[in-house]
């Protein structure tokens, strides 16, 4: 999947004009890329469109229009676009109550290393988490982690051929799985290998 370039982005003025339609398109697209893992966690699989939306929103919020600032945003978000041999996701622990969230994040230290993706017929592939920076400290984990799932050529071929996909978490304090993923999600993720 191609990385984003400055030429791929809308100017601030253009984005202001197209934002409602573009946002609606991205929100619909994202519905096919969310994998709930139980009551409090979810994987949001990223791709070029979701990252373009993130960059456009950051540029808009920060009023960035200088070439250097735009490039900094591209450099921050382009690593979350799949490279053809992997899938990339944002893993979120979603607990609205702040006290409950703080308690759970303490209990779930290390959870980011226990998230997996499985292609039917193969062993699970555990996430490579937080390559950008450490998101856990001695007291707790973070509620947001960035993950990369590296698949073998045989796994990719099987997925392209129709093999089911599954995902899960195998942490001692939180074990959940969703197998198989719904077909619309499987199809969206398989498209990331192109």
115-147: per-residue pLDDT in tens? 999 999 999 999 999 877 666 677 899 999 999
- DSSP three-state, residue 7: helix
Within the chain, residue ranges assigned H as helices are: 12-30, 48-62, 67-77, 98-107, 153-160, 183-190
Q: Is the same domain home to 72 and 19?
A: yes
Predicted pLDDT at 179 = 96
Q: Is the same domain home to 109 and 69?
A: no
Tokens (6 digits) for 166: 């599954």
| Number of domains composing the chain | 2
Predicted pLDDT at 90 = 96
The mean pLDDT of the chain is 95
Distance of alpha carbon 44 from alpha carbon 88, whole angstroms:
8
Distance of alpha carbon 38 from alpha carbon 92, whole angstroms:
12
Cα dist from 145 to 39, 41, 141, whole Å: 17, 11, 9
Q: Is the same domain home to 41 and 53?
A: no
- Residue among 116, 115, 147, 117 at smallest CA distance from 130: 147
Predicted pLDDT at 171 = 97
On the question of pLDDT at 159 being above 90, the answer is: yes
Q: Is the same domain home to 162 and 187?
A: yes
CA 49, distance to chain mean position in Å, is 12
Domain that holds residue 5: 1-31+48-81
Q: Is the same domain home to 96 and 171?
A: yes
- Residue among 117, 188, 113 at smallest CA distance from 152: 117
Q: Is the same domain home to 59 and 116?
A: no
- Domain stops at, among 23, 57, 81: 81
Q: Is the same domain home to 131 and 183?
A: yes
pLDDT in tens, 39-71: 999 999 999 999 999 999 999 999 999 999 999
Predicted pLDDT at 138 = 78
Distance of alpha carbon 121 from alpha carbon 154, whole angstroms:
10
Predicted pLDDT at 134 = 66
Please provide residue 145's backbone torsions phi and psi, each rounded to the nearest 5 degrees.
Answer: -135, 145
CA 3, distance to chain mean position in Å, is 15
Residue bearing the bigger pLDDT, 81 or 138: 81
Distance of alpha carbon 157 from alpha carbon 149, whole angstroms:
15
Query: Could you tell me whether strands 165-171 and 174-178 are parallel, antiparallel, or unpaired per DSSP bridges?
Result: antiparallel
Q: Is the same domain home to 41 and 114?
A: yes
Q: Is the same domain home to 95 and 189?
A: yes
Q: Is the same domain home to 182 and 94?
A: yes
Q: Is the same domain home to 57 and 134?
A: no
Q: Is the same domain home to 61 and 122?
A: no
Predicted pLDDT at 133 = 65
Domain of 106, CATH number, reads 2.60.40
Average of pLDDT values for 96-110?
95
Predicted pLDDT at 56 = 97
């Amino acid at each position: 999947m191609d990385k984003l370039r400055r030429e791929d982005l809308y100017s601030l003025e253009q984005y202001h004009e197209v934002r409602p339609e573009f946002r609606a398109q991205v929100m619909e697209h994202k519905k096919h890329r969310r994998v709930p893992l139980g009551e409090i966690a979810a994987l949001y699989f990223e791709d070029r469109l979701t990252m373009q939306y993130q960059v456009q929103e950051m540029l808009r919020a920060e009023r960035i229009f200088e070439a250097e600032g735009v490039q900094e945003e591209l450099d921050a978000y382009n690593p979350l676009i799949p490279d053809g041999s992997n899938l990339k996701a944002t893993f979120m622990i979603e607990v609205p109550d702040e006290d409950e969230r703080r308690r759970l994040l303490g209990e779930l230290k290390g959870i980011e290393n226990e998230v997996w993706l499985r292609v039917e017929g193969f062993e699970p592939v555990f996430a490579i988490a937080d390559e950008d920076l450490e998101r856990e400290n001695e007291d707790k984990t973070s509620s947001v982690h960035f993950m990369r799932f590296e698949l073998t050529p045989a796994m990719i071929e099987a997925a392209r051929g129709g093999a089911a996909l599954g995902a899960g978490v195998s942490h001692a304090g939180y074990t959940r799985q969703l197998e198989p993923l719904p077909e619309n999600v499987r199809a969206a993720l398989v498209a990331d290998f192109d």
